[in-house]
Amino acid sequence: MQYIGYKGNELTYMETPTLIIITLLCATGAYILGRNRASNIAYRAGKKNVLHSLPYYYGVLSALWCVLPCLFIVLAWNLLDDYVVHTAIVKLLPGSVQALPDSEIELMVNTVINNALYPNALIGSNPPDYILQAGQDYLRWQQLSQLSLTVVVLISLGLAFSLGWLWIKPKVHARQQVERVFQWFLLFCASIAVVTTIGIVLSVLFESLRFFQSVNLFDFIFGTHWSPQTALRIDQVGASGAFGAVPLFLGTLLISFIAMLVAVPAGLMSAIYLSEYASPRFRATVKPILEILAGIPSVVYGFFAALTVAPFIRDVGDLLGLDVSSESALAAGLVMGVMIIPYVSSLSDDVIKAVPQSLRDGSLGLGATQSETIKLVVIPAALPGIVSGILLAASRAIGETMIVVMAAGLAAHLTVNPLESVTTITVQIVTLLVGDQEFDSPKTLSAFALGLMLFIVTLILNYVALYVVRHYREEYE
Amino acid sequence: MNSNSGYNGLFDPMLAPGRTLDFAQQGLSNKTVGNPFSEKAKMSVRNLNVYYDNKQAIHDVSLDIKRNEVMAMIGPSGCGKSTFLRCLNRMNDTLDNCRVEGEVTLDEHNIYDRKQDVVPLRARVGIVFQKPNPFPKSIYENVAYGPKVHGLVSRRAQLDEIVEDSLRKASLWDEVKDRLFSPGTGLSGGQQQRLCIARTIAVSPEVILMDEPCSALDPIATARIEELMAELSQNFTIAIVTHSMQQAARVSNRTAYFHMGRLIEVNDTRRVFTNPEHELTEAYITGRFG
Amino acid sequence: MSKAKSKVSIANNLNTIDLVQRNLAKRKRAEWRFRAYGVGAILFGLACLLILFSDIISKGHGAFMQTQIYMEVTLDSQRLNIDDPTSDQQIRQANYDSVLAQALIAQYETGSTLSENTADSFKPLSALDKRQLLNLISTGAVYTIGQRLSDNPQLLNQTVGFWLIADDDVDNYVKNIEHGGKGFSSRLNKQQQEWVNNWMANEQVRQVFNSTFFTSGDSREPEQAGIHSALVGSLYMLLVTIGLTFPIGIAAAVYLEEYAAKNRVTDFIEVNINNLAAVPSIIFGLLGLAIFIGFFDMPRSVPLMGGLVLTLMTLPTIIISSRAAIKAVPPSIRDAAYGLGASKMQVVLHHVVPLAMPGMLTGAIIGFALALGETAPLLMIGMVAFIVDVPNGLMDPSSALPVQIFLWADSPERAFVERSSAAIMVLLAFLITMNGLAVWLRHRLGRSYQ
């Protein structure tokens, strides 16, 4: 797989929108013609109910006849086009080049394309003739490909148009057919979530498997030394660097733990106060204000953590004679906790409100105070929901990226001291993947392995949270 | 037809041939007939007015509840009888929009006094609700809840004793003694309601308020609760709200009839059901509205 | 009831109220404490919000003002290397650095009118001094001069007064002094401070609204850096996200609420959507990197890619909120339409979707606000590049506002941190506007079917 190289094949992107616009225009025309034709048939037959469906449905049907095949062709063409042209370029290159390893050939192909598209970009470098030649061919093919696509699309438009025209007969169940297409469209949209999940699993899984070919899974999960940088040196590429992820796991847990320590009491108590004690007016004012905390982007929290909270904690530590790192886990954790407060509070608020008033009445009627009622009846009754809310908040803390990227450290220290600097899974993913990447080195691939771990952990947390809530609802109703 | 009179849910003139109930729609007097007052009052209510926001739900009600009697409160729905009952242990405090004026005394002490705390009040005046509302805890925990909260016991053995005693008094012991630690929500409706009664008497209150305790139950479960009330009245003062006149006739010593937020008549139960003084009471008793 | 039992209960009866009273004070205190915890938690949240906002405003408000320095520059054609004043080419490529340096140095070496009250005005400057003097003016100042000359070529060989952008260190120093401080001096040496003080005494220094911040792209020099390109990039991405997410989200929600049968496939889709809504955003970045860039070979750092990744990330949230909005449409309306013989598609398109629209819009706007502030997945797909030019389309390399904030916050220069705060203020202004719009929509359109 090749990630390097910015490929601005503008030709493709200039032409495709035009084609789509033409297709849509044709579809509009087909709609009008189809509707009129259906109306005419009905008119000639002299009575309206000769048609199975309303004329409007026949119009929509003809339009669909135009749009669907053409969109399919354009999409398929654009997907295959790159591959075909690439293969063709490789065939054009001299045999000596073709004998090179795949990654080198890829690089060569990119050089060809870049030379062809931006002939003046690389002044000074004198590419060999075969590259220039291949570049010329590449441009020609691009144009040819685009031209033939246009022709194919136009022909199929014409074909579909006339087929659709002929298709309009009174006994055709136009409404059912249109509704069926509509339903398929809806189903397609709904399944994008499934496709996304599959995409996530495939993308992290495949790269992780490649990673685990060079690094032992056991070493990765249980190793206590993490320094991917060493693997960058040429003599160590492919050799196992130090990919023991335990310090990252521990760092992630430490920061998330600090965050939960802030967020759970604050979120839970404010939810309790707002739903059990506060007057409706107070609640209506304060709740949206607190929820602003959830709407602030995490990069803002990261800024706050790195430039305000961390120096503050370090200064306080200095005053107390403590040695505090300027990227302490404490700073990142505290700020992350503040960010998570509204998650905990709004999820707990929902479940606390779902506890029936009759239970509160029962307890108050026995003479329990309000806090006793809350602690002994309301909270136990809402506990599964609260637990699931806390799990979801924890999953958010573990997956939170920007705060830790900006405020936590890069070096992997194996420590649970909140005053020291630790690094986290997400920090390492960002560090490993931002900037130039060598996609064959374990260093880069390890980011995907970390991503896989992160995905699995959050998936388990979410699943347990959903299960707890579902189970509890069933029991409760 | 008085379709726009505003009271048209109360009765249908078509069902009362030969007699018009115009007085039911005219301005009602706040004066109560019968004998609402007593020398041996456990609780007494004087000039009680209750408002929900700006709507008045109870109009100037005065009434005494005698020690160890069963006082039944009847009346058509929306007449304020439940509201009245909930004023007796200040359950209405939990509603934000409810305002109470007047005086309610328990053993000659005003429970709406500023210094009065609702906690000891509710320990003395317990309440059982319309719908059984056991906590989602074990049967044992449900009954032990009150004594634990109030710190009535210091040893586990004492608590066990109270739980058993209360369950026996609620005549539930034999049915649940083998599954004290299974959830209270797993019981049948009638058992749940008896569990709630056991939960209430575990605190040893002096007065028990019951807000239509049988309306969610089947006839057999109702009969058991009614038997229980007769037993309980030996030790407790009971005030019960019911929509069933038969139930009032069966279980109570005295009956109060409420109408449109007014207390119309209070008399011995037998008197109310055989020879009511007020024509509204009579109309209700004879089933012309309700 | 046995005798023993009733004895217990009577004993209880006597004790109950005393026992309750005995514990009462303690329980009241516990009640009060519990309430205090609640109030404390709320105050903590509010305090954090207040501190966060005031910290950012105090750090960033300065970036909206900019220091300029007045300089009289002689546009000597020889120094500028211009033989032919009519040639645009020559004017564009002229050596403005040289005339600017000349003007600066001239103040001190020849004693121009502007600096006659300085004691050492005739002392020649060393090469180091000259360099330090030049450093006080932004390297972008030459564009101001060049622009003026190309607008107005007859100024050639004349002495013209310019307000030139000061270097960021001078900017900081001046702002600090104007706010009553002693001057943030660590980046300016004594000599430089003296020069600046002199200028200030001569009223050669002024503070104006920093329009550069809104009209230019990123730059290595803080005083020339702006958020324009990042903002445009963000808006392009948002456009892609809205264009894709909103129709797809509504369609998916309609399918799940109105069409889907209760079976395993539907269950599977639902579980997927719920899980995706809680997957960390960085994972979507990995997806974009591996699938879009790696597999489909799409270009990096372009708004289209960013928009696609944000679409996948936002979609589950939008589907969930749209479903809630559809659920809130009373079934009676569907029954009424079906009763008249409408087909399912007609019921959905004519009744359900229009009625649910306000709710769906509200949820969608909140989702888009989250997408606008998202940073982590954009880092993965290479939107951290240093982008100076304003993108002209969905396929131009661009940055995004939150990424710009991240990049600037990481810079060592104080002036970049100031700009980062200012960019946060702009971002928050957008988010608050969007959320306000959502709240307004809910109030304005919310009651259409009640």
Domain locations in chain B as residue ranges: 31-285
For residues C223 and C187, the answer to whether their CB atoms sit within 8 Å is no
pLDDT, tens digit (0-9, with 9 covering 90-100), for C361-382? 989 999 999 999 999 999 988 8
Residues A395, A400: Cα–Cα separation, whole Å: 8
DSSP B114: T
Of the listed ranges A86-95, A298-307, A400-409, C277-286, the one predicted with least confidence: A86-95
Q: Which residues contact A416 (CB under 8 A, 6 or more apart)?
A: A250, A254
Domain C228-445 superfamily per CATH: MetI-like (1.10.3720.10)
- Residue A233, pLDDT above cutoff 70: no
pLDDT at A4: 33
pLDDT in tens, C399-421: 899 999 999 998 888 889 899 99
d(CA B153, CA C20): 11
**Sheet order of strands, C205-209 included:** C159-165, C65-74, C205-209
CB-CB under 8 Å, A367 with C406: no
Question: Are the beta carbons of A318 and A394 closer than 8 angstroms?
Answer: no
Question: Which one of C17, C379, C407 would you mutate to disrupt binding with A, by most A Cβ within 10 Å of its Cβ?
Answer: C379
Of B287 and C213, the structure prediction assigns the larger pLDDT to C213
CA distance A264 to C173: 44
Residues of B in contact with C17 (CB under 8 A): 120, 123-124
Report pLDDT for C204: 84
| CA atoms of B166 and B153, how far apart (whole Å) | 14
Least confident piece of the model among A400-404, B160-164, B202-206, C157-161: C157-161
Q: C-side interface with B, Cβ within 8 Å?
A: 1, 5-6, 8-9, 12-13, 15-17, 19-24, 27-28
The domains of chain C are located at 16-61, 64-210, 228-445
Measure the CA–CA gap between B141 and B148, rounded to whole angstroms.
9
What residues contact B18, with CB distance under 8 A and at least 6 apart?
none
CB A206 within 8 A of CB A451: no
Would you say residue C181 has pLDDT above 70? no
Gap from C214 CA to chain B (nearest CA, Å): 52
Comparing C-alpha atoms, which of A167, A169, A113 is closest to residue A141? A113
Q: Where are the beta strands (DSSP E) in C24-127?
A: 65-74
CA distance to partner chain B, nearest, from residue C26 (Å): 11
Partner C contacted by A17 (CB < 8 A):
no
Highest mean pLDDT among A253-267, B113-127, C155-169: A253-267
Task: Return the pLDDT at A103.
Answer: 67
pLDDT band at A473 (very low <50, low <70, confident <90, very high): low
What is residue A105's predicted lDDT score, i.e. its pLDDT? 73
Is it the case that residue C449 has pLDDT exceeding 70? no
In this model, does residue C389 exceed pLDDT 90? no
CB C307 within 8 A of CB C237: yes
Q: For B77-235, where are the E strands, in sequence order?
A: 98-106, 109-110, 125-128, 207-211
Half-sphere exposure of A461 (CA within 13 A, CB side): 23
From first to last of its 290 residues, chain B has per-residue pLDDT tens of 334 433 443 444 444 444 444 445 555 777 888 888 888 888 999 999 999 988 899 999 999 999 889 999 998 888 888 999 999 989 888 888 888 999 999 988 899 988 888 888 998 999 999 889 999 889 999 999 999 998 888 889 989 999 999 999 888 999 999 999 999 888 998 899 999 999 998 988 999 999 999 888 888 888 988 988 888 888 889 999 998 888 999 999 999 999 888 999 999 999 999 988 888 888 888 887 76
pLDDT exceeds cutoff 90 at C49: yes
What separation in angstroms does the CA of C447 have from each of A218, A424, C258? 59, 47, 22
Q: Which residues pair with B55 in a beta bridge?
A: B52
As a dihedral over the C-alpha atoms of residue B181, residue B187, residue B193, residue B195, rounded to 10 degrees, the angle is -10
In this prediction, residues A31-45 reach a mean pLDDT of 81
Distances (CA, A) of A56 to A30, A63, A460, C337: 11, 11, 49, 19
Q: Determine the length of chain A.
A: 477
Q: Which chains have 3 or more CB–CB distances shorter than 8 Å to chain A? A: B, C
Taking residue A87's Cβ as centre, other Cβ atoms within 10 Å add up to: 10
Q: Do B152 and C1 touch (CB under 8 A)?
A: no
Q: Please give the single-letter amino acid code of residue C310.
A: L
Minimum-distance CB partner of A376 among B126, B127, B149? B149
Best of A401, A424, A466, A473 to substitute, by most chain C Cβ atoms within 10 angstroms, is: A401
The residue that leads in pLDDT, A331 or A175, is A331
pLDDT the model gives residue A275: 92
Give residues 168 to 207 of A whose Cβ lies within 8 Å of C: 175, 178-179, 182-183, 185-187, 189-194, 196-197, 199-200, 202-204, 206-207
Both tokens assigned to C103: 């003007």
Token pair 């958020």 is at which residue? C227
Which CATH architecture fits B31-285? 3-Layer(aba) Sandwich (3.40)
pLDDT digits (tens, 9 = 90+) for A80-90: 777 777 777 77
Which residue is associated with the tokens 């993490």? A226
Which one has a higher pLDDT value, A2 or C24? C24
C-beta atoms of C49 and A290 within 8 A: yes
Flag whether residue C240 sits within 8 Å of chain A, measured between CB atoms: no
pLDDT digits 0-9 by tens, A346-392: 889 988 988 999 999 999 999 899 999 999 999 998 998 899 999 99
Phi/psi at C363 (5° precision): -60, -40
DSSP state of C158: S
DSSP conformation class of C291: I
B50 Cβ partners below 8 Å, 6+ apart?
Answer: B56, B57, B58, B80, B83, B84, B87, B92, B98, B99, B100, B101
CA A100-A105-A106 angle, to 5 degrees, is: 150
* pLDDT at position C441 over 70: yes
Strands B41-52 and B55-66: antiparallel
Q: What is the pLDDT of residue A229?
A: 65
According to DSSP, residue C222 is labeled G
Q: Which of B92, B93, B94 to mutate to test the interface with A (most CBs of A within 10 A)?
A: B94
Q: Is C35 on the interface with A (CB under 8 A)?
A: yes
Distance separating alpha carbons of residues C273 and C317, to the nearest angstrom: 8
- A78 versus C224: the higher-pLDDT residue is C224
Q: What distance in Å separates the CA atoms of residue A257 and residue C276, rounded to the nearest whole number?
A: 23
Nearest residue on chain C to A436, alpha-carbon basis: C382
CB-closest option in A297, A371, A455 to C283:
A455
Is the separation of the CB atoms in A388 and A347 below 8 Å? yes
Residues 207-266 of B with CB under 8 A from C: 231, 235
- pLDDT of residue C244 exceeding 90, the answer is yes
How many angstroms separate the CA atoms of A420 and C84, rounded? 65
Whether C420 and A303 have beta carbons less than 8 Å apart is answered as: yes
Q: Answer whether residue A151 shows pLDDT above 90.
A: no
Contact yes or no for A197 and C41 at CB 8 A = no
Dig out the tokens for A226 from the structure: 């993490």
What percent of chain C lies above the pLDDT cut of 70? 90
| Among C136, C225, C141, C214, residue whose Cα is nearest residue C172 | C136
The 3-state secondary structure of chain A reads: CCCCCCCCCHHHHHHHHHHHHHHHHHHHHHHHHHHHHHHHHHHHHCCHHHCCCCHHHHHHHHHHHHHHHHHHHHHHHHHHHHHHHHHHHHHHCCHHHHCCCHHHHHHHHHHHHHHHHCCCCCCCCCCCHHHHHHHHHHHHHHHHHHHHHHHHHHHHHHHHHHHHHHHCCCCCCHHHHHHHHHHHHHHHHHHHHHHHHHHHHHHHHHHHHHHHHHCCHHHHHHCCCEEHHHHHCHHHCCCCCEECCHHHHHHHHHHHHHHHHHHHHHHHHHHHHHHHHCCHHHHHHHHHHHHHHHHCCHHHHHHHHHHHHHHHHHHHHHHCCCCCCCCEHHHHHHHHHHHHHHHHHHHHHHHHHHCCHHHHHHHHHCCCCHHHHHHHHHHHHHHHHHHHHHHHHHHHHHHCCHHHHHHCCCCCCCCCCCCCECCCHHHHHHHHHCCCCCCCCHHHHHHHHHHHHHHHHHHHHHHHHHHHHHHHHHHHC
- Reduced to 3 states (helix: H, G, I; strand: E, B; else coil), residue C49 is helix
| Among A290, A273, A251, CA closest to A425 | A251
Tell me the average pLDDT across C250-269: 90
Q: Chain A to chain C, count of Cβ pairs less than 8 Å apart?
A: 282
* Domains detected in chain A: 10-172 (no CATH), 242-476 (1.10.3720.10)
ipTM above 0.85, yes or no: yes
Contact B8, B2 (CB under 8 A): yes
pLDDT tens profile C312-338: 999 999 999 999 999 988 888 888 888
Count of Cβ atoms closer than 10 Å to residue A366 Cβ: 27
d(CA A298, CA A170): 60
Name which of A300-304, C142-146, C251-255 the model is least confident about: C142-146
Interface test with A, best of B111, B119, B201 (most A CBs within 10 A): B119
Closest-CA distance, B96 to chain A, in angstroms, reads 8
Tell if the CB–CB gap between B120 and C21 is shorter than 8 Å: yes
Separation between Cα atoms, residue B232 and residue B202, nearest integer Å: 12
Q: Token pair for residue B127?
A: 């309440």
Instruction: Mark C143-178 as b/e (b = at least 16 C-beta within 10 Å).
Output: ebbbeebeeeeebbeeebebbbbbbbbbbbbbbebe
* pLDDT-based confidence at residue A121 (cuts at 50, 70, 90): low
The two three-digit tokens of residue B184, written as one number: 């209270």
- Enumerate residues 65 to 84 of chain A having a beta carbon within 8 A of any beta carbon in chain C: 79, 82
What are the C-alpha distances in Å from A449 to residues A67, A215, A300, C178? Answer: 42, 10, 28, 53
pLDDT in tens, C10-23: 445 456 778 888 88
Mean pLDDT to the nearest integer, A108-114: 72
Residue A104: pLDDT above 80? no
